[in-house]
Amino acid sequence: MADEVLTTIEDGVIIITLNRPKAKNAANKALAEGIAAAIDELESNDDLRVGILTGAGGTFCSGMDLKAFVTGETPNIPGRGFAGLTEYTPNKPLIGAVEGYALAGGLELAISCDMLIAADDAKFGIPEVKRGLAAAAGGLVKLPRQIAPRIAMELALTGDFISAQRAAELGLINHVVPSGTALEAAKELAARIAANGPLAVAKSKQVIAEQGDWSSDEMFKKQNDIVMPVFSSADAIEGATAFAEKRAPNWTGK
């Protein structure tokens, strides 16, 4: 894995750190490849339950590396999108821990996470129009599905930034925490998720991720097609047994 992305594993959680602090963690090809490889590790390693995406040096990601862009390099991975993530949805939960700036592609990377923790001095925005570009890595299509479309329109057309507090008001992020503590707060959230049945977590995530495209007539059938195997799983029996025996469950993910 490239030095542009560092990974550590703690108690079933993989922490994926963007590691180009001198460039405000701007995404180049190597960083995109590193994120894609880290997500592959999250997906393939049965011991991993949750991923956390964060940035080194007090910032999350300032977007695309424009110096690399003008030389013809783009931080896109086929089938994965910008920074190896924006067009891909992992099966396991991914939490973004945002300090400093999540701008342009950095915001699009953040909104590709399932949940977001942000420092109280963090800033969010899609300022591509200020550089004659467009927020084509999700800012124009995913952001209006996560906040009110009129607000997304304003952000896309002005390129203005918003604060973490405003992002929380809009429902874009889960929790605002003191500066410097976003990663620790994300670890706490990840631990609460990792303590649960991994099969139940994965299927619950899948339903929530896909249900927006379902009609009212079909939503329960589609939901049940996904979640009913959970109820007949070994983990379901283990969860009920552990509750009765007043002990922690021993999950197998089966």
Choosing from 4, 33, 99, 108, the catalytic residue is 108
Catalytic annotation present for 108: yes
By the 10 Å C-beta count (0-12 exposed, 13-18 middle, 19+ buried), 123 is classed as buried
Choosing from 128, 184, 210, 238, the catalytic residue is 128
H or E element that contains 152: helix 149-158
Q: What is the β-pairing status of strands 115-119 and 94-98?
A: parallel
> Is 23 within 8 Å of 65 (Cβ atoms)?
yes
Catalytic annotation present for 245: no
> Is 2 within 8 Å of 20 (Cβ atoms)?
no
Q: How far apart are CA 32 and CA 218, in angstroms?
A: 37
Q: What is the β-pairing status of strands 175-177 and 115-119?
A: parallel
Residues acting as catalytic residues = 108, 128
